[in-house]
């Protein structure tokens, strides 16, 4: 029961929703790329283009996750919540999605390179999203700093701080 409570944290729909969006972006890209590529050079290029678009959509979802969690959670809560999702999504995208899409399963060195590539891009995307939130000052720490500044200004000169 304790494990279930830990897995179903109060905002679990958004966490699992982002994970599902990441897996779906990869799966759709793999399915389309596998169907487009019939062996000719032109379709191979089209398959690579579809794969790149799917990869970039995964990075965009990771950036959105960084933006989402940066606004809603404290800095200390972001990594413990997103890291397990990114690990599971990376493993699902590399090991399960090729089976579902019925495309050629990658070789062992391809698996290891894809795991590293996907995980680093997801983590970097989330970090970039959080940096954007932090630069705009809408994260928890930025809002606390603004509130502290207003409180000091109000205490220093109550007539001016309206």
Instruction: State the residue range of the domain holding 11.
Output: 2-136
Q: How many domains does the chain have?
A: 1
Instruction: Say if 13 falls within a structural domain.
Output: yes
Examine residue 143 and state whether it is found in any structural domain, yes or no.
no
- With respect to residue 155, please indicate whether it lies within any of the assigned structural domains: no
Residue 56 lies in a domain: yes
**What's the pLDDT score for residue 2?**
67
> pTM of this prediction?
0.78
Q: Looking at residue 3, what is its pLDDT? A: 65
pLDDT in tens, 69-111: 888 888 888 888 888 888 988 898 888 888 888 888 878 888 8
User: Which helix (H) or strand (E) is 100 found in, with range?
Assistant: helix 97-101
pLDDT at 105: 80
- Cα 157 from Cα 149, distance rounded (Å): 12
For residues 126 and 81, the model is more confident at: 126
Dig out the tokens for 80 from the structure: 């413990």
Task: Tell me whether residue 158 is in a domain.
Answer: no
């Amino acid at each position: 029961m304790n494990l279930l409570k830990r897995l179903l944290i109060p905002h679990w729909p958004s966490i699992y929703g982002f994970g599902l969006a990441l897996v779906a972006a990869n799966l759709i890209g793999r399915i389309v790329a596998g169907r487009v590529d019939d062996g000719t050079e032109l379709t191979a290029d089209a398959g690579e283009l579809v794969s790149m678009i799917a990869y970039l959509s995964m990075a965009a979802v990771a950036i959105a996750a960084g933006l989402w969690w940066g606004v809603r959670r404290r800095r200390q809560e972001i990594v413990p919540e997103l890291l397990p999702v990114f690990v599971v999504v990376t493993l699902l995208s590399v090991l399960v999605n090729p089976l579902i899409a019925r495309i050629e399963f990658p070789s062992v060195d391809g698996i290891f390179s894809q795991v590293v590539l996907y995980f680093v891009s997801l983590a970097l995307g989330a970090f970039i999203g959080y940096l954007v939130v932090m630069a705009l000052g809408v994260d928890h720490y930025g809002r606390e700093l603004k509130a502290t500044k207003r409180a000091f200004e109000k205490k220093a000169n109550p007539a001016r701080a309206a």
